[in-house]
Amino acid sequence: MNIHRLLELAVKKTRAFGLETQALMSDLARVSGNDKQLKQSFEACVQGYGVSIKKLEEAKEFLSKSSFESAYYAVAKAHEYSYVCKDQFEGPSNEPALALNRSEKFISVCHIVWNLAEVLLN
């Protein structure tokens, strides 16, 4: 398997994980009850995941056209926005464990995809 195909697969899997996590954050926002700050944090997570997912979709499109530099920049933006959810909470102890775990995993896989894109670009 070449790097191009590996990156396409990684983008696809990362996007799918992002969509699952975005849906989870949306559910958590909905059931957060009267805690407005918590609800707002989860809603910001949903928006941040939305941007990351959109950027991964753009990267997928650029990869299909072998536009590697554009794919790299789209993946870099996806990675940048992967931190939005984690940054919504005052610290790991204030973030629900499930949200923290998913956020950290999403950040990690976005970082891996970004590194693959960098390898492909160079």
pTM, two decimal places: 0.90
Least reliable range by pLDDT among 8-17, 28-37, 99-108: 28-37
Q: Are the CB atoms for 112 and 120 separated by under 8 Å? A: no
The DSSP line for 12-69 is HHHHHHHHHHHHHHHHHHHT-TT-HHHHHHHHHHHHHHHHHHHHHHHHHHHHHTT-HH
pLDDT tens sequence across 37-71: 888 999 999 999 999 999 999 999 999 999 999 99
Selected from 1.10.1660.10, 3.30.470.20, 3.40.50.1390, 1.20.140.40, the CATH number assigned to the domain covering 3-120 reads 1.20.140.40
Give the CA distances from residue 120 to residues 55, 67, 81, in Å, rounded to whole numbers and listed in that order: 17, 11, 21
* Per-domain boundaries in the chain: 3-120
